[in-house]
Every structure is written in structure tokens, then in C-alpha cells.
Structure 1
């Protein structure tokens, strides 16, 4: 545990070189002198404060930055040291002052590849720096778990400088790393004979005692160092480490407090404090402590291991997998890391990846390893091999309730709830007070909706664990599932009475408030939880659910954003936020959220799926196809992904690719209705009406009471221009499922056959019973307008516009035209509103321009009409209106040119006769 420190001689030598960088500034010299004196006294904290104050006044003081970097190196904060060294380099400090220190900072962060690259590039080194370079290269090897290579490196340094204390200390660390107690003691004693006052050697010797389990000897030696130098930070931290191992956590906290007084922002202090918090199961604070360690030392394996365990316990499985994978890769023999990583992958429902982790250690594995491997095989569907490994686990330890619990977990994961209950009951009957087994037993009964059995199990647990809030919470859950809200509330309140900090019960009480529609009370409870734990994901998600129930989209977005920011390791808030934006049609925002999630969770399949869907809807079709291809590499037999990939290809106009994707989805899942409907639509677009009709008939046979098969057949008959048959089929569809879409489809085809009156009657009947169906009302208004019932159409359009959440340019355009024909003064303002919304729609520009012309604003009207005509010269009505406006303004030659084109190109249009008459009048 001893921190590597730079000798005072090296600090003094470095400071002598740094004085020249201060540019002769007396303030800088005074600041660095004070810092040097503090360092010599071992008061690193005062030195740090002095140098930071100096840099606030002058950020360009390279000397102060270099000395501050040396302090950071002494306390093991490689990231901070690297930052200061790079800044000094940017300020023009000579490379000899920072080159090797920067490599040391990289090593402190486990950035071994970059450190080696810089060592390889180092040239023109002095003799002393050559010795240091050998030591640094050996430090890299030791960090990469290559003790033999490290030993050779330290010996090369000693060959150049037999009196090198750093090289000698390196050999001590190698012996300590290899776990050879005798060699460590021998080497330490030999070193101390040469350097009897070297505190680092004394600390290593103390560490060897700690590793050997001789805590009393270790403490005595740490205290001997502190008696000579009470400011020796490494001794404080070493003593705290021993105390933690002895479970004397209060004394360990006191040592860490003293360490903070010596120097703040020390990674090892954060780590040890995190270990204490971890042992006390204070996951949130422990996680924050280990995060601070990793910000300074990204490769710190112990922090990664404990963070992985914490994230696993909190259900943040992707993050747990990431941390634990790094630990297993760096230390393949770490059985604890392998087991938690395997358990993580089982929870992620990735059994093959769990098997890959466990099989290399299974033959000689402990019973828990065997049980986990059996669980993975069972989850994979290989019941025979799974049962074999689980039985071997139970044979090795038949009286261990935890193993029976593990067996039950695997059965639950495989959906065999009945067998899981048997295994859990046997675990509980062993009487080892395995709380997990009791909890799982209750939850398993609840999953099977066996509420009385769940209550019986949880109440038995209440009797055995009356001091714990967990049993009362479980009983409350059972009552809640049963629908007995008063009894559930009583038990949750009992859980809080036992432990007021048990926030799970508070969130469950909020659930009861929601069930009683007392949303304000639920919100107060969630706020109370967040006061106690500002990062409580459940409370934030509860507030989001409340916002949805209250139909408050702004509050929903705010709650999900808060949850996303507060829980960067959880993908759920971001997924829900992206899905919300999708349902609102705000595809660009959905895409932005999904892209951010993908950057944080690159291997998370639900995130990748959300990204692919957002890319499809957001118009990034090539990217969406690539994302779906990645998903299909991992899930080639997932029909849903093939179906969604087909939708992306369809949006990209790849009809063939879409058809292939839909067919593959159906090959994997023949009864996949959505895929059949999508395939029928593609076939219709390809004019393959026979194949589309076959799908329609299959759906009618499989789902005779559903409308979908008849609706597809109706579309086929429309494509074949057999409108009479289409009316009959759409009538059948509407009889089966009276929906808005079915009503509109039937009315549309009835109108096409000339039965506009029947279509109007159908839609009027629908609106009577569905007054909020704006889509049907809009279509009804259009049909009323076509049949000459202008006043009725106006009333419908006005009603729709008053209720619609957003303005509709086409409806405004139709309403403006009706106002115009009725002589209503509102025509011009309404037409302008439509034009402002969609100025590039030719029919809307024509309406606005023509209304302006008829209102006496002839020049303004002509300008808009001409712009529309230039963009859409095939629109004969616009052309005729342009010609009329030109003629009224005396621009007859221009009018004649437009009229000739209208008559020549569209002789059968509705405007052809009027255009010909005006052309004749003008002599054209």
C-alpha cells in the first residue's frame, strides 16, 4: 500500500531548475520557496494550497505547475500530475524538466502503452535520467503483471547506479508483487542495511507483514514511521488499510481524516474510504469514491472490481459488465471478478458470454462457480448440462442454502417458477437465514399470482427478521398485488417505522397514492425520497410516470432528463425519453437522445435498437440500416429486428430489400401479423396484387373477426380499379372493427364510386358518436365541400381547427376558399395563415394569391401567383389565375403567353374553356 514518493533530494534539484522558469519574478520565487519549505516539512497540503493560489494569480507560471505536478505524483494522482505537466510543456518548459515526470504520471494512471511509447521516443538522456528511464520501464512491467521483466529493468538501473534507492525499492515491490514473503523480508532487510532510514522500505516491510496477516507487526512498523515523520501520508494510509482489514472501521476513518489533513484529492484515500463504505453497503457513497479514484487512475483494478460489484447490485448491468470485463482481462485468475461478471451476464440474459467466463475455471471451481455455470446453461436452454453443473455444485456443498438459492435463480431465469419455488423453500428450510432466498420465494409466488402463499412466506420472514424493514415491504407488495391497498399501506408504513431510511417502502407508498389517484401525495413522497437520495432512480422515474398520468409533457421530459443526468449508468431514462419524443413525432430530438445513449452504451442492444428506430424516423436511413445490420449480427433469428429493418429499407426506397426482410421475419415467425401487413403493402407498391391478395386471404382465414385482412383486400381491389368490390370488402372490414381508419377508408372508396352522399352519411354518423375524431371530421368537411354544402363544411373546418393541437395548412386553405366564395371577410387572413405555414404548396399559394387579387391587392396577388406558377408550371388553375391577373393589369402580351400554354398543354382541364375565351378576347 506504500505510495511511491519522490526523494527530497530530487524535489530540491527539480526546484533549482524551476527557478529559472519564473522569469525572475519575485512573487513566483516567494511562492515556490514557500512550497518547497512545506514539502521539506512533509506538509504537502500547504504546498499545494500555496501553488494553487500562485496559479490563480498567474496561470502561466510553469515553475509552479511543475512543482505542483511533483506533489501530485507523490500522492499518486497521476491524472492531475499529467494535466499540470502538459500545461508546463505548453508554456515552454524545457523537456528535461517534465519528460520523465509525464511518463511517471501516465504509469500512475495505468496508461502503460503511451508510457512505453514515450520511453521509446526519449533521446539524449543524461546518465541520471537513463537510470530513471530503466526504472520507469520496470514500473510499467510491474503494472502489467510482468514481475520478471520488472526485476530485470530494476537490475539494469542498479548496474548503472548501484546506489539508486528507487531501483532498490523497485526490487522490493517485485518481491511483494510475487507474494514471496521470505524473499520480500530478505530483500527489505538487505535494503534497510544500506538505507536504514528509508521510509519507503520500512513501509514495504510493513506491507509484507500486513499481507502475511501479522496485523500487529504491520501496525507497529507503520507507527514507527509516523513517530519519526507524522506527516508521512503513505504510513497513514497503510495504517488505515490494516485497520480496515481488522474491521476496525472507526479507527480507519480517523486515519483517513488525518490523511486528508496532510493532502486532499489523494486517490488511495478515496479508495480506502470507498472500501469502508462498500463494507457498510453504502453503495451510493462507495460508488462515488471509486469513481473519484478512476478519474485519477483509470486502470485501478481494485476500484473497477468493487464498482462492478456495486453496479451489479444496483442493476446497472451494462456498466458492471464493462468494469468486471476489464478486471478479468487484466487478472484472469481473479475468481471473484469472474463470478460476478458471469452473474451479470446471466442477468443480462447472455448465457453464452457467461459460459465463456466460467468454463476456464469450472473444473477446479468452487461450488458457487459450478452453480453459476449451471444457471447459464439452463438459461441457454441446455437443461441437461445445466442440471449437471448445478447438481455438482449441490454435491460439493449440500448444506449451503446460498447454492440452492442460486439454483432457484437459474430456474426463475428460465421461467420454471414452480421448480424455483421448491428450490427456494428447501433453501429457507436449511435455516441459514439466507435473506435472498426468502425474498425470492415471496417474489416467485407473486410472479405466479399465488398471493396467499406469498403472504404466508413473507409473514414467516417478519417473525424471523422483525428488525429488518424488508419482510414488511414484501408483505406490502403481496397485499398490493392482491389489491388490498389499505393492508399494503399499513405494511409499508411499518417498514418505515422500523427503518425511516428504507426508501423502497416510501416509493411503494407513492404507488398506492397513485392507485388512489392522489397524485399530489405521490409527488410529495417522491420529492421526500429525492431529498434523502438525490440520485434515486426509482423516485425520478415515479415522477416521470406521474407527469404522464397528468398529461404534463414538460414535466415528463424534465423528470426523464433529470433521471438521465443523475444516473449516467442507467439506460432506461434515456430510452423512455427517446420513445416519448417518437410518440410525439419529434424524431430529431428522439435521434439526439438515442445517439447520446449509444455513445454511452455502445454494446447495449435495447439502446442500439432505439437508435436504429430513431435513425429510421429521423431520416438517417443508411445509418439506420447499418444499426439494424449490427443488431442482426447479434440476433440473426429475431423476427422483430428483421421486421423493423425492413421498415428502414422501405423508407430508403429499397423495395427489394424491404420485401426480403419482411419475408425473413415471417420465415422465423409465420404468424407475425405486422410483417404480413408490411409485406402486403410492399407487394401492392410493386403492383403484385395477386401476392398481396393471397396475404389478405390468409389473414382473413387466420383472424376472421379482424378487419386487417379485409382492409388489405380492399386496397388490392382499389389497385385493380374494381371499386364496387372494394366497397364490399371495406364494408366488411368496418363491420368487424369500427375504427376511424376503417371509416375513412370506406368513405373514400364510396366517394370514388360516386356515392358521395353515402360517404357523407357514414362519416356524419361516426362523428356523432366520436366527436373528438378530428381526422374523420376533416375528411367529412372535404366531402361536404365537394357536394356544395359549404356552410356545413365551414362549420366542420372551424370545429377541427379549434380542437386540433396544431394548425393544419390544408384545412386552413380549404376554409379560406370557402370564406372567399361566401364573401366572408376572414378569407384573406385565413389564407395568409395557411400560406405562412406552407408557402411551397401550389394549391395554398394559388388560394392566397387569388384571394389577394380579388380583394384589390392585384400586384401582391400576382406576385404570389407567379412564384407558384414558376415552381409548378403544369398547374393549369394557377396558370389561368396568373393570366387573368396580368390581363387586368394591362400586361396582355404576358397573359397571352400563359393562356396559350394552358390551352395547348392541357386542353381537357377545367380551366381550358375559360382560358380559350380570354385568349380569343385578347386576340391571341
Structure 2
């Protein structure tokens, strides 16, 4: 917004804002006064109020004189002596608006506007000056009629300026004419109408109205500036110079150059340059530079950086912008440009940080917003991206790019999201050239089981771009999923005919042949794909897999080697190559060859990880550690290498823990955590190791790390409960386990909580909890098994059998329920006892109780030798696990006597 009537209007506005508030503190009742000052004496408060009034008057005086620096100091003194009054804040904000620091004015007034109506007008002006028209409109919409009763004309003009910014010219004219009906002399309304004429190209009307206004307002600098703009647009440079010179002469002298003066000087310099009077133009350029030397230098640096950026010299532009950003960390333009450069260079972390810190979605360009959102999406920060785009769409609802990325962000989070699909459809309506969005929409419709709509999108995409590989892939996927083989074959053939040099067409054609079990056709298409693009890795892999299926091991191996020659980071190719050698019993040979390559070429870190995974599967921990160590030494950023390393170290840790070597188990686990420090599964393992090692305080510390990572998960409380339960601190264990249960009921928490309640002799509470467990997790067999066991212990066999049968109905492979039911069947002469006992044994062949049940049933059914063998295993298993072995030994002795 351009300031109106120079300092005269500013001074009037200040008086309107402040007059009614001046003496308010003097009439505050004593009790309220004491509450405000927190114990200050009545005299002290009165002195502060007087001091505030003195500074307010001084600030007003300095403003009239154009001494803004001194006025700012005085306004801050008003705030210092009367912090509960809005006077100082409003005065300071008005100054900020006048000198072009509207962002500072917003920061001051935004918190006040809800409490003090006097802050609304200057805050609205600040929003408009900052280009934040949506915020300005929202503020006006939420302002009551009572709040703007004393400033209706000014609010109406501000509303018109918002309409003008949104190119709603009819509404703007209507609002301004209404103002002029009430007050024909409102110069700001007249100027706004003239501005509409200039924007819409009606220069004659603008000149006419401005010339009429100049008759009685010949010293109004803003009016003269607008008249100069009309002359400049008509290329009447002499008139433009004359009006600008007059405007400059009538502007008041101020100690800080105002935006109005800056505009006049810039326009005057440009006009003189157009006239060929460069030396005169430089006078005004120097005036601007001398008024703000640091700002002038910063602007020159920024312009130089922008030129380099536009020329594609990103490195040089980045160096200039880094220096500028270090000098002026609040310079959002340099921050945004740095973010854009980082984005184009692929550094999403820096780009995301810089763009997030320096963009205002209400006023930033769609290009900057799109880049920021894409950086956040690539960093996995979809919530941030969506929030940014939603804010941007409030001010740019019809921007195709923002709608497109918004839709992509929503569908990336949830492919079935209806709002995301609507955003993409709107983006396509706004810009039909964005044909790649059709494929994304098609994926949405497929996920939503709207296949015909998906086909329509893909047909449109290929109609716009017959060589659209992505649309072809999605279309073939959909047709094959729906067994539409003939339609898929026809689509692939059409694509190949239209794009004979496109390898993707032959590759998709091969997929269709494979689905039709036409291996010859598939091979021919893959050969054509390779011929069309020698680097077509998918085609080579496909040929290798075909040869592998046909047991042509050497040909398959050669294709996989060809892939590796193109891309030595192809995990699939390395694994397939090993498999092709193993198929012909030459696995050791290829492992030796690949090991030599991995040991001599540090660039083959993916191969090292593949070999590490191979040796880990073969239980060769030493070689697995050796190769994964090589891979990690070469890179710390490859996802496959890191995932393999975590898996290997975690597996090793569990092996060592099973061998009761907790020190080495912890050491191996810490290697995994060095790679993935936020991995809650690894941290859970660490808690288990610390418990086993008796390091309870360390275990509790780790649970707090887990809580910080997943604050909404029950995991931390569950693990804390386990720590306390191990120490038999039952009340503490129960408290934490109950917290975990309340957050998210599951069987693991339930089992631990039931065990803690039982161990603490809370029999009644334990029984009530089992009922709750069954109610909240009705598909769980565990509460039924607990109840069945209780009935069995009490001799209620019929009730126990019924409960065990229900548990097996829910979980047919539950070894405990099968074993216990088998025993009850055996005791009751049910012939199904042996079948259930055998199934339980197959599921848990090392369980002493299950071995005893099955062995004893076999003995009693005549399979004595087989039963004795199982009973002997049961005794050994019971001894090693600490189970009471007496009953099993009795069964064994009886069986031995039957031989």
C-alpha cells in the first residue's frame, strides 16, 4: 500500500489511536492497580503513568518532525513505563509502517488485536503493506462493527485495497464510491480509484481524475507519483520527470528514508535514464545508497546473486548468498534463494531448513512454495509439507503447481485420500499440460477400486503424450491385475508401434507375454528392449530370470554380469548371479570371485553387503562382520548397507544373549544402534539385555529414550513394567503396565500385567483383568486359556475343555491350548487326544510339558518305545529349564516297566 497525504495523515491517525487512552491508568481502582503492578506503590504507578505520557507526547512530536529514530526510542519508553497500555505498541507500529518495517509492526500488533480494537487499523495496514492480503481480510472479517465505528472510511478504503490486490475491481470501485458518497474529499479513496484505472489500462480516465485532484491537492506526493506513473506508461517522460520532481520536493524531510521517497527516487532515476540523462539519474541512485549504505550494498549483492542464479551458475550464486545471509540472517530473500539453490543441488536437508525458515506461504511465489514442499516430502516430513501447502492455497487457490503438489503430498500419505484426488483434478483443470498427474490419479482410483475411472485417466494421459512410460506402466499393472490380458497385449503393441525406439514399450510387452505364459514372446520383447537401450537394466534382469527359469544357468549368469557392469550397486543382480552358480553346484566358486572383487575394490560396497548377508544366512558370523565392516567403511548413507548391518549386528547380539554373554551381546547391539540410533526395536533389545545383565537403572534410562522417540506408544511403559517385574517390585510394575494397557491394549502387555497382578497376590484384580482382556481383545485366545487352566486346576474338566476348544477355534496353532486339551481328552478317553498332542509337539518340539503329554499318551496307546524316547527328552528339557521333573520321571519309570 502507498502512504497517503504524507505526514499529515500519519499525525492525524496517531492522534485518533491514542487520545482516548492517555489518562486511562489514572482512573484504575486501587485494587486493580495493585494487581497490575504486582506490589508497586500507588505513587510509583502514578509516576510511571506520567512518564509514559511524557514520552508519548515526545514521540508524537518527533513523528511530526520526521525524526523516526528518536520517535522509536520514545515509543519504547512508553512501553517501558506503561507495558499494560497499548499506546506505546501502537505508536511504534505506526512508525514501523511509515518507514517500511511492516513485518515488525505485525509482530507487535498481532497479539494485541484480539484485546484492543485500536490495534486493528494499523495492523490491517501492516498486513496490506506486507502483501499479506489474506491475513488483512481475515482480520477485517472478524472485526465487529463497534470496533471500527470510529474509522469506517479508513476500513472501507483498506477493504478496497484488498479487493484491488485480488483483482476484484468491481467490488473495489463499489466500496470506494460508497466512501466518496459520504466524504467526497477522501483523497485516499480517489487515489485508489485512479490506481484501478492504471492497473486496468484505462490511462485516460486515470489522468483525468488525477489532474482534477491536483487542482486542490497539488502538494500531495503520492498523487504526484501516480500522475507520473500515468505519464511514464504513455512514454511521456518529460511529464513523468516533472511530476516526480514535484513529488520529491513536497515529501517531508525524515531521518529514515520512507518507502514513498524510495519509490519516487527509483522512478525518477529510471525516467532520467530512459531520457539518456544517466549522470543525473546517478545522483538519485547515490541518494538512495547514501540513505541506506548497508541496504544498498546488500541489494547489489542480491542482484548479482540473482543474475548468477538465472544464468545457472549455482555455485557462485551460493557463495554470494552465504556471505549475505551471514551478514543479514533475517534477510528472507537471500535465505529463500539459498534454499532454492540447495534444492536444485539435491541437498534436501539444507533446502528444507532454509525454505521453512524464510518463506511466508501467504506471499511467497508458487515456485518457492513448491520447492519447499517437495524438499519436505523428500525428507519424509509430509505433515509439514501439507501444512505449508494448505496455508499457501488460502492465498493462491488457483495455482496449478501448488494444487498439484498438495494432491501429491496427500496421496503420498494415503493413496485413497479424496481431497488429494480433488486437488490433482483441479491442477489438471488449471493446467492440462501437467499430464503426469493422470498416472497419479489413476493409482488413486485403482486403490479406491474405481478401475474404469483409472483407465479413463490413463487413456487421457497417453492421448496427451503417446510416449508416457509411467502411464503405460500403471495401465499395464492395472490390466494385468484384472486379468485383462488381451487388452494389455493390445495396449503394449500400440505403444510399441507408436514408439519403436522406446525400450519401455518392449519391457512392458514382455510382462504381458510372461503373464500369458508366452515365454518365447517375452524373450523376443526383452531382446528388443536391450537393443533399443543397451543400459536397460530391467530388460537384462528379465532375460536373466527367463534363462534361470529355463535352467540355462550360464546364460542367466552372463545377463546378471551385464547388469553389474552397468550398475555395480544392483543388489538383485548380485544375488541372482550367486543363485545361478549355486544352481549348478558352483556356489563356492562365485563367492570366492566376488569376495576378491569386494576386497580389492572399495567402490563395491553393495557387493560387500550382499556377501555379508550371504554369510550371515550361513551362520558364518566372522565373515559376515568382515564384509559388512568393509561396506560401512566405504559408505554410511546406503540404505541397503545400513539395513544389512543392523540385521547382522542384531542377529549376532541375540545369539550372544542366548549364550548368556551379555557383555558381547550389548557390544554387538550398540554397533547396530550406531547406525540406527532411533530404532525402537534395537532399543527394546537393549532393555532386554540390560535386564538380563541386572543393569536395571540403565534399562530404565533406555525406556525414557524410547518414550522420547514414540511418546504416544505404550512401549516405554511396558518395558518399564518389565524392568520392575524382574526386580519383583510389583506395585511399580503394575502401575507402568496399567499405563501401557490404557494407551494401547495388546496381548504382550496383558500377559505381563496379569503375571504381575498374580505375583503380587492380587487374585481378584487379576481375575477382573482377565475379563477385561477378553472384552477388549475378543480375538485373543490367551484369556480363554487362563480361564481354562483355572478350571482345569479346580477339577472342572468339562468347563476347561469348552474353554480350550474356544481358544483353539481362535488360534488353531496355539501349542499350549492344544497340549492341555489333549491331556484332558486323554483323561476323558477322547480319541482325539493323540492327534492334538502330536500337533502341539510339532509346534513346540522342545517343550518339556508337551513332550511329556505326547510321550505319555503314546505309551498308553501302545507305542511304548516311541513314548519312552519322548519322555526321556522331556526329562532333559525339564532339567535344563528348571521345571519340576518329578511327574515326568514317574511317567518315564512306568513306561520303562512296560517294555
Aligned to 2:301, the other structure's residue is in SS state: helix
Partner of 1:481: none
Shift of 1:462: 5.8
Which residue does 1:628 correspond to in 2? 421
Q: The residue matched to 1:534 in structure 2 has which SS? A: coil
1:739 deviates by 3.5
- CA change 1:394–1:304 in 2 (3 A) is same
Give the whole-Å Cα distance in 2 for the aligned partners of 1:709 and 1:463: 65
Alignment of 1:194-593 (within 5 A): 231=51, 233=53, 237=56, 240=59, 244=63, 247=66, 249=68, 252-253=71-72, 255-256=74-75, 259-260=78-79, 262-264=81-83, 266-291=85-110, 293-294=112-113, 297=116, 300-312=119-131, 334=155, 336-338=157-159, 340-342=161-163, 344-345=165-166, 369=193, 372=196, 426=235, 431-432=240-241, 463-467=279-283, 501-509=296-304, 525-544=320-339, 555-560=350-355, 562-563=357-358, 576=371, 578-583=373-378, 589-593=380-384
TM-score w.r.t. the length of structure 2 is 0.50
User: 1:623-642: CA deviations, max 9, x gaps?
Assistant: x3234335646875555555
Cα distance change of structure 1 residues 439 and 891 upon mapping to structure 2, 3 Å threshold:
farther
Q: Which residue of 1 aligns with 2:537?
A: 740
Instruction: Determine the structure 2 residue equivalent to 1:11.
Output: 28
Shift of 1:680: 3.7
CA distance in 1, matches of 2:65, 2:290: 33
Displacement after TM superposition at 1:593 (Å): 1.6
Does the CA-based 8 Å contact 1:328-1:338 persist in structure 2? no
In the TM superposition, residue 684 of structure 1 has moved relative to its aligned partner by 2.7
Q: What is the CA–CA distance in structure 1 between the aligned matches of 2:141 and 2:127, rounded to whole Å?
A: 9
Deviation at 1:503, TM superposition (A): 1.9
Q: 2:515 aligns to what?
A: 719
Distance 1:465 1:669, change over 3 A: farther
Alpha-carbon distance in structure 1 between the residues aligned to 2:266 and 2:497: 47
Query: Residue 789 of structure 2 corresponds to which residue in structure 1?
Result: none
Aligned CA distance change for structure 1 residues 524 and 390 (closer, same or farther; 3 Å): same
Q: How far off its partner does 1:715 sit?
A: 2.3
Q: Which of 24, 36, 42 is 2:42 aligned to?
A: 36
Matched-pair contact (CA < 8 Å) for 1:327–1:337: no
Give distance in 2, aligned partners of 1:774 and 1:405.
Answer: 69
Is the contact made by 1:355 and 1:373 (CA closer than 8 Å) also made in structure 2?
A: no
Q: Counterpart in 1 of 2:766?
A: none
Deviations 1:810-849 (A, max 9, x none): 88554545x67xx8963699999999969999xx99xx99
Match of 2:385 in 1: 594
Aligned equivalents of 2:155 and 2:316: distance in 1? 48
Specify whether residues 237 and 607 from structure 1 end up closer, same or farther in structure 2 by C-alpha distance, changes over 3 A only. Answer: farther
Q: What's the CA shift for 1:4? A: 3.6
CA displacement at 1:764 relative to structure 2: 2.6
Displacement of 1:733 = 3.0
* Contact map agreement 2:76 2:92 (CA 8 A) in 1: no
Check 1:573–1:634 CA distance in 2 against 1; reply closer, same or farther (3 A cut).
closer
> Deviation per CA, 1:641-694, whole angstroms, max 9, x where unpaired?
554333334345554554455456678888876445433432232222343344
Q: Distance in 2 between matches of 1:893 and 1:828?
A: 43
For residue 220 of structure 1, what is the aligned residue in structure 2? none
CA displacement, residues 35-76 of structure 1 (integer Å, 9 cap, x when unaligned): 33334x3523xxxxxxxxxxxxxxxxxxxxxxxxxxxxxxxx
- 1:762-777 matches, cutoff 5 A: 762-771=559-568, 776-777=573-574
Counterparts in 2 of 1:567 and 1:725: CA distance versus 1, 3 Å? closer
Match for residue 590 of structure 2?
Answer: 792
Q: 1:701 to 1:397 in 2, by over 3 A?
A: farther
RMSD: 6.3
Q: Give aligned pairs, total.
A: 591
Identify the residue that residue 177 of structure 1 maps to in structure 2. none
**Contact 2:352–2:372 (CA<8 Å) still a contact in 1?**
yes
Looking at structure 2, the residues matched to 763 and 495 of structure 1 have their Cα atoms a distance apart, in angstroms, of 70
Q: Relative to structure 1, is the Cα distance of residues 824 and 635 closer, same or farther in structure 2, using a 3 angstrom cutoff? A: closer
Q: 2:445, 2:453 within 8 Å by CA — same for their partners in 1? A: yes
8 A contact 1:237–1:259 mirrored in 2: yes
CA separation of 1:442/1:43 partners in 2, compared to 1, >3 Å: closer, same or farther? closer
1:3: Cα distance to partner?
Answer: 3.3
* Secondary structure of residue in 1 paired with 2:20: coil
Shift of 1:725: 1.9
Unpaired stretches in structure 2, ≥5 consecutive residues: 1-15, 181-188, 213-222, 245-261, 632-639, 660-811, 815-837, 858-899
8 Å CA contact 1:394–1:404 kept in 2: the answer is yes
- Asked whether the 8 Å contact 1:812–1:830 carries over to 2, the reply is yes
User: Per the alignment, do residues 700 and 296 of structure 1 end up closer, same or farther by CA in structure 2, a change over 3 Å counting?
Assistant: farther
Residues 1:613 and 2:408 aligned together? yes
Q: Which residue of 2 aligns with 1:705?
A: 501
Classify 1:629/1:776 alpha carbon distance in 2 versus 1 (closer, same or farther; 3 Å): same
* Unaligned stretches of 5+ residues in structure 1: 23-27, 45-229, 347-352, 376-385, 409-422, 444-455, 473-493, 854-868, 872-878, 898-924
Give per-residue Cα distances to partners, 1:677-732, cap 9 Å, x unaligned: 43343223222234334443444455443333333323222222222222222333
Any conservation in 2 of the 1:496–1:502 contact (CA below 8 Å)?
Answer: no
Separation in 2, partners of 1:698, 1:442: 63
What is the TM-score of this pair, normalised by structure 1? 0.49
Q: Determine if contact 2:529/2:536 at 8 Å carries over to the other structure.
A: no
SS at match of 2:122: helix
